[in-house]
Structure 1
């Protein structure tokens, strides 16, 4: 976090995928507020998901995952053909369910993109969020492979990197981000991060009591590989099902040790060179 920002001031997103209906209102609101150019919008005949992934011009992406209903694990997700009118052959084998999740930049506690940015284009705001300053970005692209979630992308036209800013301009005006404002089911919740974590834990307990044992939180743990995310999720299946890495790790975690070893190696090399010169000079002096 930026100097002077306390943990209490940090804000973030809690996305409860159990109530996401896939309406994509968050995607539309994000594009409209941030004046993002149109991209994607191509149906593949394999999914109703027409934007397919986060990118330089898609800062919110609603994933559509269709899968066989996992018998006995949950009765929650939508579009199940349950009811008294089912015949014995209709129930079970052919049943499908939709898992929907509005993905976004995670605004990591330990953000590798910040570590590798050479221009200071990426910075930590007073709200604890991570923002790209497009007028300072030089298009080097170092941040792209540094992100453990594959969130950041460069625009082909000029190479500059873009991603979610959590509506930094709206936060400064005391407003919530556009995506959370537009969400009709409160799947996307915005607020102080500590409060969201408490609310999310209660929601998981509630779902498990209702017979949804697969309910789990992702990105909430301050002890994980990125120090916890500023945007975390309640999932109904394993992270990989949603296209999320199961154990994300800040990609620059070994940099201090690497620099330390590199420095030691450089000193050893300089010492060897100095010793060689000294030996050569001594040999000339004896002649």
Structure 2
């Protein structure tokens, strides 16, 4: 596989896994997401995640609002005024009764996206975890071992995507595991298994990237010039994501950072400078002590 700015695309060998299997991940195609939230439900059921209160937020049909310790998959509903560009509205056959499927929308459109942990190639959460609770799996994913998490919260602030969260009344960090227990048995993650439109696709990351590029080319050929990939490049600020997306607008519209950067990229230099400063201080103390003795 190709190399990124921060190391190889497949981080499992760097984590010490010999003969690691192919890196696995998610490709989420937002152009066919219908906002059904089947992925959210399946994730909660399989992982025994607490509910979010069942309260609508008063802004849309979304009742979760974002990723959290109790929401590892979140389906965003983004309402926009219509543009002059032809809008891809979802799966064929889902038009309203009596509507002209060729007619352009003149009021608004909904963009929908099922968001999830990105399982970064270079994961800052791993760098800052003091207990080893966060670890890299043989599939290249990042998992939290809640039984040894001390609730320090360092990973929460380190994540450039704001994915990790601590559970109220618990204090420990929680996030998507990419269903590590399922994929270890050769099963598909619960969210991808439940998705009725194949918006969430699971598989070998290298194959998903090829499939995603072909999908973007197809959409652009159909006039959807806004179609673009997010998190697929191993030359971005986090060395590429293990969960990447096809978007129909700018990342900020979906609540994603436009240029994510691993927050610990300068950590080695910082430790080096701190070490040099400590040595300099120690040297000054020794010189002062010897000067007093003389």
Normalising by structure 1, what TM-score? 0.92
Preserved contact between residue 104 and residue 151 of structure 1 (Cα < 8 Å):
yes
Q: Which structure: larger Rg? A: 1
Higher alpha-carbon deviation: 33-42 or 243-252: 33-42
Report the equivalent of 1:285.
Answer: none
CA RMSD of aligned residues (A): 1.9
Report the equivalent of 2:68.
Answer: 55
Shift of 1:150: 0.4
Aligned pair count?
276
Structure 1 residue 189 corresponds to structure 2 residue 206 = no
- Out of 40, 46, 64, the residue aligned to residue 33 of structure 1 is 46
- Out of 218, 221, 226, the residue aligned to residue 206 of structure 1 is 218
- Matched residues in 2 for 1:109 and 1:84: separation? 41
Shift of 1:4: 2.1
Preserved contact between residue 57 and residue 65 of structure 2 (Cα < 8 Å):
no
Q: Could you list the runs of 5+ residues in structure 2 that have no partner in the other structure?
A: 1-11
Q: 1:263 to 1:64 in 2, by over 3 A?
A: same
- Matched residues in 2 for 1:123 and 1:229: separation? 16
Preserved contact between residue 238 and residue 261 of structure 2 (Cα < 8 Å):
yes
Preserved contact between residue 40 and residue 52 of structure 1 (Cα < 8 Å):
no
Report the equivalent of 1:143.
Answer: 155
Preserved contact between residue 107 and residue 231 of structure 1 (Cα < 8 Å):
yes
Query: Counterparts in 2 of 1:112-191, with a 5 A limit?
Result: 112-191=124-203
**Poorly superposed stretches of 4+, deviation over 3 Å:** 5-8, 78-86
- Matched residues in 1 for 2:200 and 2:18: separation? 24
Q: 1:208 to 1:220 in 2, by over 3 A?
A: same
Q: Could you list the runs of 5+ residues in structure 1 that have no partner in the other structure?
A: 283-287
Preserved contact between residue 154 and residue 161 of structure 1 (Cα < 8 Å):
yes
Normalising by structure 2, what TM-score? 0.90
Q: Tell me, what secondary structure is at the counterpart of 2:146? A: coil
Structure 1 residue 260 corresponds to structure 2 residue 272 = yes
